[in-house]
Structure 1
Amino acid sequence: MTELCITATPTFNSKPQRLADFATLPEALDYAAEGCTGFNFHDNRGRLLAPLGYVEVRRRAIEAARRLMSLGLERGDRVAVIADTDPAFMEVFFGCQYAGLVPVPMPIPMSIGGHERYVARLERLIESCGARVAIAPSHMVRYIEEIPSVDTLAFHGDIDALRALPNPEDMVLEPSGPDEIAYLQYTSGSTGFPRGVEIRQHAIMANLRAILASGLAVRPQDRCVSWLPFYHDMGLVGFVLGPMASQLSVDYLGPREFAMRPRLWLTLMTRNRGSIAFAPPFGYDLCTRRLHGSDIDRLDLSAWRVAGVGAEPVLPDVLDSFAEHFAAAGFDRRAFLPSYGMAENSLAVSFAPLGIGLSLDRVDRDVLEQHGEARPLDDDRVAGLNTTSFVNCGHPLPGHDISIRDGDGHPLPERHVGRVTIRGPSLMSGYFHDHEQTRRVLGDDGWFDTGDLGYLTSQGLHVTGRHKDLIIINGRNIWPQDIEALASQMAGVNRGELTAMSAPPEESEVDVVVLLQTTLSDERARAALIKELSAGIRSEFGVRCTVSLLPPRTLPRTSSGKISRSQARRQYAAQLREAMDAVSTPSAAASS
């Protein structure tokens, strides 16, 4: 008995490459289906599990579209789909495109918290988008079934249950048009509950064209490799829709599998000669910390020409460590490509220039904190000064604009820090069923307030942080990532395990709070770490600081895995109030 041999879809296509010059996603898939490339799914050992050519994606999507419409759904109805890294996601997502329905990718439970908390979050998401249908992988259907309002849905179940529905082959499908909503993309929720971003077909196609042709300069010989979750904009747009719209093959590893075995990502890059892969800084950091010796000897990363960095602030020290660590495997640090983007702009706003790696702007930190001006420094003027550096995220994509503005909306000159506002054809039409919040951030003139702070130079955009995260003390603007960078230089402190924030009003004797996850159990070691951190921060920044040590996996994170400073601050303030109430409220025994 011979084993069935499956092979991945090829890198080189049989059709001439087109870079997203289509009106809609269905048109893009129609063309991709004429070639031989596609999606490739790998298991937790890196073995090829399911190659899915675009021709098969289209066939399954059209069948799914007919089955969904057999439920009596109306055009524009929302279909919630738990976005695990699975071929079924492609079937449902693209099925909606051919049916004129709106797919809504939902997060998987890996980074949300406990079971009950995930179900509650899922219920809120499904209710907020008004989904008529909810589909999940077979092992996750139980989460949907536990939602109290599940019986109000027209259909819920896994892909097998969907495939069991009638398939009226004579049904005439009307795919989504250029002005219709292509999908709802929920924000990561870093500053509050996630909002559903309306992305229309013309917006996503405009962003894909700019990304593929200008930002990445995609070539026919490129191949993508990704572990990014499909419910995040970088995973969905960058590594599902982008490869499809440029007819590239892409190799997938699930985010949980990457977290458990990060070497599998680089092994796939080696095996299939991957040339385009993105990750947040913590992904590169995880590889550096987990892979050593013989692991590196077996890698060949010489084909990796675009090592994209996004989804969170770019950390130069993390990327420098990765480049040094994997230089022996052929990794070229010039492959690093910082970028700036967000779900509200489909995905990307700007890219740094290709082929030069990280470009840092070193500035006087005292002038920055006190006057909001990023005064540049050269090597001759660094000695004796407090300095900080920001990564250049490049100029906006063609047809897009960036403007830095003050609190009143007036444009600021170069090197003055202000609110980052953007404009262009890739912007959302609004937050779904949230006209008030849409009006707050998206003006009638087409400019969108990102909520980020940054400044412009002749080289491009430099992002300094989130406006809501800024620590303001006696008129000084202190960036939490500067405090976190200092803390991470101390022994036993990992950059991805801490957050710095302004102290809540209840803690009047303190300026800054640092929350740090640690496995330290020895009381002397814990006390020494707190003392060293507090003293170092006080000496460097001149602020009063309290350090709180937390158990591992305690800090709240967004659906994309980032630490949520705003939620951490709320939780810390709530715990502080509880402690103060316990001290100030007499016990029953004492009052009797």
Structure 2
Amino acid sequence: MVEANGMKVETPTQDPTLKRRYADFDTLVEAIEYAAKGQRGANFYNARGDLTDSVTWAEVRDRAELIGRKLVAMGFEAGDRIALIAETSANFVAFFVGCQYASVLPVPLPLPTSFGGKDGYVSQLQMQMKSCDANGLMAPAFMSEIVEEATADITLRFKGSYEDYMAAKGKGELRLPKTDDLAYLQYSSGSTRFPHGVSVTHRSLLSNTHGMAYHGVGIGENDRCVSWLPFYHDMGLVGTLLTTMTCQVSVDFIPTEEFARRPLSWLRVISRNKGTITYSPTFGFDICARRAALRSSALEDLDLSTVRVAGCGAEMIRPDVLRHFYETFEPIGFKWEAFLPSYGLAECTLGVSFGRVGVGIEVDLVEEAALTGDKHVLVNGKGEDARVREVVNCGVPLPEYDIEIRSDDDKALPERQVGRVFLRGTSVMKEYFNDPETTRAVLSPEGWLDTGDMGYMKDGCIYIVGRAKDMIIVNGRNHWPQDIEWAAEQLPGVKTGDVAAISVPGENAEEVPMILAQCRFSEPADRLKFVEDLKRHIQKATGINCMIELVPPRSLPRTSSGKLSRVKARNQYLSGHLQALAS
């Protein structure tokens, strides 16, 4: 705990005592040992923006070394896996690093708050622990009942809270990792299949944090990071925790569940600590703008003029949402130029490409026909009748990557043609843990990763247009479900995440587009009007006639990181496990 006159204080933004290094280390242990020579560290806040805990990187190192010795003494072997429930706390940070001192692999997994109910969470936790063949589990004490239920038929070396691990007797010899050893397993939250454990080496991790900090964001002496992102997600774990740690930056964390209750706490901490770097999926910016609109006093005492990088990624970037955020918070100093679009995925540790710092969101206005199978040159829409779509420039790939856009027959495509995105580089995963069949399906012997994303290159920059496996094909034309969902969400009363665009089998094996829409109306007349309004709204915006099925509130399935899972929704609907409401 950092204290001054008996009071908790944040770790400093600036530290003239330590020369910055951009993750140029062989292992995470070497990185934390260097960061421990300085004064910076991690700080934790509640929903009101009050500081609740603060640790320097030196304190993290000291606690981590002790944890590593205890793990060795408890019988954990090199390469063993410990499922680590990712509470936003100094305990999680210390334990994650502590595993490195014993060459044990931490496997960050979500808190119960990420799921709709206890049964669903217990089932997911069991599946993930069995998937990674976990040898241990560390979870907050309040989860003891859930832990017992989830591990009833799993043999573990040890399970318990952080305090339980610290209370265990014994002090073993440190077992330090090498650069090509695995550092941790990251569960990918891809919406097209059950999440797989991505195997990340120390070399991959440090290459990626170096690239993001030095080439992507350009971290400087006056930078301070602020984040509400969960530690079980690659953007939260790598982007805001491990990058700040390996590049000696002070960082401020708001627990994800606190942000969900009071989204403006994110902006409050930025304002209070003069934060300069923050990151969020598009929906985080959306939530803040919506919440601010509910209270006339929402902007009082807030100042966002220090933000130089407001990174966005992790899902399709929606320029309309970012414009609304800018218009809402421009009066308190937020700059359009602060937006920094990026592209990444857990299979590449995290970051792949970044836009230009200080420019803001750049888009292509592309004719819809060019994104739906017709091999037209990508040009601005012509005439009033042309259907166009804004495609965000996700920037130049980091120097470590080779990138190819490939056709369905696996041939490299020239610029301005849409195809599947393939990547090769140091940060690409070693494998999906314990899953050689799935690994072979996406990773070639030459190291090329099939990302499953569709996009195109233009002037050396990458533009992502959607997920290949989520695509809906109607009458031989491809339609991105994100576009259909966005159209539905423009209807008043429909919230982000309320609808899932899927396809279902029709006559003659054709695909029929369908919207599964969470409905809060109980009266039949209100439901019927809602269905008709949705159909009309979607047809007007996209030209697609969709079937509409109403489902109960909070019934659409999510991935471990809270994203909508269209594949699960489709499977549950077709199997009858997702019951439609009468309309």
Mark yes or no: TM-score above 0.5: yes
Q: CA deviation at 1:368?
A: 2.9
- Structure 1 residues 143 and 302, CA gap change in structure 2 (3 angstroms): same
Q: Which residue of 2 aligns with 1:586?
A: none
SS of match in other structure, 2:8:
coil
1:441-520, aligned counterparts within 5 Å?
A: 441-458=442-459, 460-505=461-506, 511-520=512-521
Selected match of 1:144 from 133, 142, 147: 147
Q: CA deviation at 1:524?
A: 2.9
Q: Which residue of 1 aligns with 2:45?
A: 42
What amino acid does structure 1 have at the position aligned with 2:437? E
User: Distance between the aligned counterparts of 1:432 and 1:214, measured in 2?
Assistant: 29
User: Distance between the aligned counterparts of 2:416 and 2:571, measured in 1?
Assistant: 33
User: Distance between the aligned counterparts of 2:161 and 2:333, measured in 1?
Assistant: 42
Q: CA deviation at 1:484?
A: 1.9
Q: Which residue of 1 aligns with 2:223?
A: 222
Q: Which residue of 2 aligns with 1:10?
A: 12
Q: CA deviation at 1:106?
A: 1.1
Contact 1:420–1:454 (CA under 8 A) maintained in structure 2: yes
- Structure 1 residues 302 and 518, CA gap change in structure 2 (3 angstroms): farther
User: Distance between the aligned counterparts of 1:450 and 1:481, measured in 2?
Assistant: 18
Q: Which residue of 2 aligns with 1:270?
A: 271
Q: CA deviation at 1:558?
A: 1.0
Q: Which residue of 2 aligns with 1:132?
A: 135
1:577-592, aligned counterparts within 5 Å?
A: none
SS of match in other structure, 1:152:
coil
Q: Which residue of 2 aligns with 1:589?
A: none
1:217-366, aligned counterparts within 5 Å?
A: 217-291=218-292, 292-366=295-369
Contact 2:277–2:307 (CA under 8 A) maintained in structure 1: yes
Q: Which residue of 1 aligns with 2:413?
A: 412
Contact 2:226–2:270 (CA under 8 A) maintained in structure 1: yes
Unmatched runs of 5 consecutive residues or more in structure 2 = none
Say if 2:172 is the partner of 1:165: no
Q: Which residue of 2 aligns with 1:75?
A: 78
User: Distance between the aligned counterparts of 1:310 and 1:509, measured in 2?
Assistant: 33
What amino acid does structure 2 have at the position aligned with 1:487? A
Q: CA deviation at 1:540?
A: 4.8
Q: Which moved more, 1:54-63 or 1:130-139?
A: 130-139
* CA RMSD of superposed structures (Å): 2.0
User: Distance between the aligned counterparts of 1:307 and 1:234, measured in 2?
Assistant: 13
Contact 1:470–1:479 (CA under 8 A) maintained in structure 2: yes
User: Distance between the aligned counterparts of 1:192 and 1:468, measured in 2?
Assistant: 10
- Structure 1 residues 576 and 183, CA gap change in structure 2 (3 angstroms): closer
Q: Which residue of 2 aligns with 1:95?
A: 98
What amino acid does structure 2 have at the position aligned with 1:6? K
Q: Which residue of 2 aligns with 1:32?
A: 35
Q: CA deviation at 1:491?
A: 2.3
Say if 2:164 is the partner of 1:190: no
Q: CA deviation at 1:39?
A: 0.6
Contact 1:350–1:394 (CA under 8 A) maintained in structure 2: yes
The superposition leaves residues 277-316 of structure 1 with CA deviations (integer Å, 9 ceiling, x where unpaired) of: 1011111110011124212122100001110101110011
What amino acid does structure 2 have at the position aligned with 1:227? W
- Structure 1 residues 576 and 560, CA gap change in structure 2 (3 angstroms): closer
SS of match in other structure, 1:544:
coil
Equivalent pairs counted in the alignment come to 574
User: Distance between the aligned counterparts of 1:268 and 1:299, measured in 2?
Assistant: 9
Q: CA deviation at 1:189?
A: 4.3
SS of match in other structure, 1:259:
helix
What amino acid does structure 2 have at the position aligned with 1:26? V
* TM-score (normalizing by structure 1): 0.93
SS of match in other structure, 2:535:
helix
Q: Percent identity?
A: 45
SS of match in other structure, 2:232:
coil
Q: CA deviation at 1:219?
A: 0.6
Q: CA deviation at 1:46?
A: 1.9
Contact 1:339–1:350 (CA under 8 A) maintained in structure 2: yes
Q: Which moved more, 1:422-431 or 1:126-135?
A: 126-135
The superposition leaves residues 192-229 of structure 1 with CA deviations (integer Å, 9 ceiling, x where unpaired) of: 21100000000101101100000000011100111100
Contact 1:374–1:417 (CA under 8 A) maintained in structure 2: no
Q: Which residue of 2 aligns with 1:535?
A: 536
1:114-129, aligned counterparts within 5 Å?
A: 114-129=117-132
Unmatched runs of 5 consecutive residues or more in structure 1 = 580-592
User: Distance between the aligned counterparts of 1:12 and 1:167, measured in 2?
Assistant: 38
User: Distance between the aligned counterparts of 1:502 and 1:164, measured in 2?
Assistant: 53
- Structure 1 residues 148 and 244, CA gap change in structure 2 (3 angstroms): closer
Q: CA deviation at 1:549?
A: 2.5
User: Distance between the aligned counterparts of 1:574 and 1:420, measured in 2?
Assistant: 32
User: Distance between the aligned counterparts of 1:570 and 1:123, measured in 2?
Assistant: 21
Q: Which moved more, 1:314-323 or 1:499-508?
A: 499-508
The superposition leaves residues 313-345 of structure 1 with CA deviations (integer Å, 9 ceiling, x where unpaired) of: 001111110000000110001111111101110
Contact 2:38–2:57 (CA under 8 A) maintained in structure 1: yes
Contact 2:74–2:170 (CA under 8 A) maintained in structure 1: no
User: Distance between the aligned counterparts of 2:579 and 2:296, measured in 1?
Assistant: 49
SS of match in other structure, 1:105:
strand
Q: CA deviation at 1:143?
A: 1.8
Q: Which moved more, 1:129-138 or 1:265-274?
A: 129-138
